[in-house]
Amino acid sequence: MMQARSLALVLLAGSVWFPQALSGQPRPAPSKGVTMNNERTNLAAEVLRLAGDEFFALSEPRRLELANRFSEIAGDDAATDPAATPPCLVLGAPGSVDLKARGRLPVLLGTFETALRGWAVNLKPNLNLYVKNRTTGQMLHSTPLISVRRGQHPLPSGGGAAPSVGQAAATRASMVVIDLLDRMGGHLNSGDEISVTAVAFDARSNTVRIRLEGPDKPGAPVAVKHPYVRSELDPRPSIEPEIVVPSQGSAKSGWKIRVAKQLPADDGVLRTELNQPFLPAHIILVRLDKPATVIPASPLVQQVALPDGKQVFNALFLVEIGGEKGHPVAPGDYQVYLDLGASFLGPYPLQVSE
């Protein structure tokens, strides 16, 4: 399993600021658990739903046009209180790409934020792209654009002077093209299928799926047993769905994340060499200005038949974090995301004490 690392993106080129009226004083901290309205997400993502060839021949006027349309949707519910105006992240990508014929893999990333949000959560060290190989179940890594080794030290979130009352509600929309093939440094292989999700601390994007066409054979599923993961095989045709992420935990005594979910056959379930179905899952713990902690899990799942004959899978498992038996984690304030097969859920705010 390759260690996941954050991909920090410098979003300066093509950024546009839109000043707005403001009443009240700016607040010094980001809001907790920011989530995008589903309708707003879907509408914004539709802007980036282009024909496959257009991703490879995107002109500058067309990119600015997309940025303006995206900004109109993302800022449609902008409030006069900048702390109440949620950020917005969206991704767009071709549905399939022949890596050898094309030589690159363009992904469009749109971001929308207020000046207050940009100060409280600096995108440079906090914007992460999570690239999952849906064929093998692995979470891949990419090389951050910001390299501390090269002396690049971005301003910490909430560092420096806060934006003035008159500037805090100004909004910025940015639309950039990322060559994911270049960023992934050789970890993408033809024959596989990947999914990509962007996360900026307590905000996440839609998830895009890309099939990597080519002559190579697809990779084999990777199921690794982990001592901190416990799964249960439940043959019942119906289970009560439940996802439990505690709001507080202790690094010393530990805590548990529980998942109970029934999955259709196309929801990311893979099979081991012995034909046992399993769910490639990851628990992602995100802190401001720090590398994310990615905890891999491969719980076994139970295949069951519904009364109508349809085949589904019951996933019931828990992940122990902290304590003597759990995956180690440092104290701090986190946002938790769950990568469950084809689903990417969160954020869930979590405070970890000593």
Provide CB contacts within 8 A for 62, sequence distance 6+: 54
Which pLDDT score is estimated for 234? Answer: 96
What's the rounded mean pLDDT across residues 62-69? 93
- Determine the 3-state secondary structure of 118 from DSSP: helix
Closest alpha carbon to 195 in 336, 343, 48, 294? 343
* 326-335 confidence digits (pLDDT tens): 999 999 999 9
Beta-bridge partners for 182: none
Which pLDDT score is estimated for 209? Answer: 96
Beta-bridge partners for 247: none
pLDDT band at 78 (very low <50, low <70, confident <90, very high): low
For 243: left if phi > 0, alpha if psi spans -120 to 50, otherwise beta; the answer is beta
**AA letter at 271:** R
Which pLDDT score is estimated for 37? Answer: 54
Q: What's the mean per-residue pLDDT of the chain?
A: 86
Which of 70-84, 126-140, 286-300 shows the lowest mean pLDDT across its residues? 70-84
Most confident of 68-82, 164-178, 318-332: 318-332
CB 138 within 8 A of CB 221: no
pLDDT band at 146 (very low <50, low <70, confident <90, very high): low
d(CA 320, CA 309): 35
Strand bridging mode 248-250 / 343-353:
parallel
pLDDT band at 266 (very low <50, low <70, confident <90, very high): confident
Share of the chain above pLDDT 90, in %: 73
d(CA 319, CA 256): 6
Please identify which residue in the block is written with the tokens 């960023």: 183
CATH, range 229-353: 2.60.40
Q: Where are the domains of the chain?
A: 16-213, 229-353
Q: Tell me: pLDDT of 155 over 60.
A: yes
Beta-bridge partners for 200: 127, 203
* 192-250 confidence digits (pLDDT tens): 999 999 999 999 999 999 999 988 889 999 999 999 999 999 999 999 999 999 999 99
| Burial class of residue 266 in the structure, from the number of CB atoms within 10 Å of its CB (0-12 exposed, 13-18 middle, 19+ buried) | exposed
Which pLDDT score is estimated for 42? Answer: 80
Q: Tell me: pLDDT of 111 over 90.
A: yes
Q: Tell me: pLDDT of 34 over 60.
A: no
CB 105 within 8 A of CB 79: no
Q: Tell me: pLDDT of 23 over 70.
A: no
Q: Tell me: pLDDT of 342 over 90.
A: yes
Q: Tell me: pLDDT of 318 over 60.
A: yes
Between 8 and 269, the more confident residue is: 269
- Determine the 3-state secondary structure of 55 from DSSP: helix
Which pLDDT score is estimated for 179? Answer: 94
Which pLDDT score is estimated for 83? Answer: 77
Between 246 and 142, the more confident residue is: 246
Q: What is the pTM of this model?
A: 0.88
